[in-house]
């Protein structure tokens, strides 16, 4: 299987009045054709900023892409001119956002908005794009698409709006679909429907997916590999079953441990991760998770662990061996 996206050492910062915000600090990952990569982490850990950086959607007065490369089908996205990358957005790499209520333009019809990428990237004429829009609506489970083309977003429910967003994103059959927390704003039953829809579409169209979420429950049934991020760093990465069976980073353990379980005793408190989310205004000396880690060593505060491969593709950035209860690498 070929690699469609290879990101190396992406660094993104925001120069603000209060200082420099280190949003993404050396993130590297690879995405293969047809693969689904889950990116997990708490709010503010840099998941969305990474994706927006790849597509040149970071506003460049405060934002700066400070380093790194992102190869998509052989070309570096970060070095492309605006016009070049504009042609990739929406046609080869698409993104859907969290809040379907605000992601659709309220004064344009659904039909107009779905036809926009078709007419822009595939140069379709009105009759063709209308036809294709109806097909796309059918694809995402909105039957009788023809009568909905002239409807406005406010006439739809949240789940249907998200389906419309998905239809827009898949209009030009992209190679990669980036889903930035698309179900977070929806209620549970609709969430399940949307996830099922995406799985069916994946089977049918075969695109690679990057699914960003902070809900570990969703990722389990959806992703092939999962990447855990914290404070702009990648702290762990593994195949999904491996991650859930052998979470090796204290943060990952904390995330999994804090999930409410159906089989837990009802009088026990939920486990939470002590401490506060990191302040991104300072570039940390040592591991960014050290202030909150229950296994912290003196080495952790001095040296930021690098992402290292353990076995079968399980990567980890940590000085502590959580299974054997001793420091890795002897110190």
Pairing of the two strands 315-316 and 233-239: antiparallel
Contact 201, 170 (CB under 8 A): yes
Min dist. Cβ of residue 53 to other proteins (A): 13
Q: Which residues, numbered 107-136, are part of the site for other proteins (CB under 8 A)?
A: 107-108, 116-117, 120-121
Min dist. Cβ of residue 293 to other proteins (A): 35
Q: Which residues, numbered 187-216, are part of the site for other proteins (CB under 8 A)?
A: none
Contact 164, 110 (CB under 8 A): yes
What are the residues whose beta carbons fall under 8 Å from the beta carbon of 91, sequence distance 6 or more?
117, 121, 122, 172, 174
Question: Does residue 168 interact with other proteins by CB under 8 A?
Answer: yes
Of the two residues 81 and 276, which places its CB atom closer to other proteins in the complex? 81
Q: Which of 16, 155, 173, 282 binds other proteins (CB under 8 A)?
A: 155
Binding mask 37-66 for other proteins (x = CB under 8 A): ------------------x-x---------
Q: Which of 16, 102, 282, 298 binds other proteins (CB under 8 A)?
A: 102
Question: Does residue 81 interact with other proteins by CB under 8 A?
Answer: no
Q: Report the Cα 203 to chain-centroid distance in Å.
A: 20
224 vs 186, 307, 319, CA distance in Å?
23, 19, 26
- Name 179's bridge partners: 96, 211
Contact 240, 38 (CB under 8 A): yes
Q: Which of 36, 94, 129, 213 binds other proteins (CB under 8 A)?
A: 94
Question: Does residue 285 interact with other proteins by CB under 8 A?
Answer: no
Q: Which residues, numbered 232-251, are part of the site for other proteins (CB under 8 A)?
A: none
Min dist. Cβ of residue 17 to other proteins (A): 17
- Name 75's bridge partners: 72
Contact 179, 202 (CB under 8 A): no
Min dist. Cβ of residue 213 to other proteins (A): 18
From the CB of residue 297, how many other CB atoms can be counted at a distance below 10 Å? Answer: 17
From 8-16, 160-168, 296-304, 322-330, give the range in contact with other proteins by CB under 8 A. 160-168
Question: Does residue 16 interact with other proteins by CB under 8 A?
Answer: no
Of the two residues 155 and 173, which places its CB atom closer to other proteins in the complex? 155
Min dist. Cβ of residue 75 to other proteins (A): 16
Q: Which of 14, 72, 156, 211 binds other proteins (CB under 8 A)?
A: 156
Question: For residue 94, which of 202, 170, 207, 204 has the smallest C-alpha distance?
Answer: 170
Min dist. Cβ of residue 316 to other proteins (A): 33
Contact 13, 22 (CB under 8 A): yes
Dihedral sign for Cα 141, 31, 73, 120, please. Answer: positive
150 vs 136, 146, 156, CA distance in Å?
15, 8, 12
- Would you tell me which residues interact with other proteins (CB under 8 A)? 55, 57, 86-91, 94-95, 97, 99, 102-108, 116-117, 120-121, 143-144, 148, 151-152, 154-157, 159-160, 165, 168
């Amino acid at each position: 299987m070929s690699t469609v996206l290879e990101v190396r050492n992406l660094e993104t910062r925001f120069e603000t009045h209060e200082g420099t915000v280190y949003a993404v600090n050396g993130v590297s990952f690879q995405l293969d054709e047809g693969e689904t990569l889950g990116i997990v982490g708490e709010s503010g850990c840099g998941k969305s900023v990474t994706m927006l950086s790849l597509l040149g959607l970071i506003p460049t007065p405060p934002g700066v892409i400070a380093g790194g490369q992102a190869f998509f089908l052989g070309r570096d996205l970060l070095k492309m001119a605006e016009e070049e990358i504009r042609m990739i957005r929406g046609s080869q790499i698409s993104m859907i956002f969290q809040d379907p209520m605000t992601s659709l333009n309220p004064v344009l019809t659904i039909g107009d908005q779905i036809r926009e990428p078709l007419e822009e990237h595939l140069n379709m004429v009105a009759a063709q794009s209308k036809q294709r829009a109806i097909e796309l609506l059918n694809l995402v489970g909105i039957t009788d698409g023809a009568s909905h083309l002239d409807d406005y977003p406010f006439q739809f429910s949240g789940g249907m709006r998200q389906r419309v967003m998905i239809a827009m994103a898949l209009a030009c059959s992209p190679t990669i679909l980036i889903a930035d927390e698309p179900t977070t704003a929806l209620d549970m039953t609709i969430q399940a429907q949307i996830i099922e829809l995406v799985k069916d579409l994946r089977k049918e169209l075969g695109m690679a997916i990057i699914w960003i979420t902070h809900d570990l429950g969703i990722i389990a049934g959806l992703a092939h590999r999962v990447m855990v991020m914290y404070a702009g760093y990648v702290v762990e990465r593994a195949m999904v079953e491996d991650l859930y069976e052998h979470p090796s980073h204290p943060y990952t353990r904390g995330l999994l441990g804090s999930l409410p379980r159906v089989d837990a005793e009802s009088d026990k408190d939920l486990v939470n991760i002590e401490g506060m989310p990191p302040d991104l205004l300072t570039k940390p000396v040592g591991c960014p998770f050290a202030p909150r880690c229950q296994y912290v060593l003196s080495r952790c505060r001095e040296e930021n662990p690098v992402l290292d491969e353990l076995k079968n593709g399980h990567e980890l950035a940590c000085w502590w061996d959580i299974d054997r209860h001793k420091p890795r690498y002897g110190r």
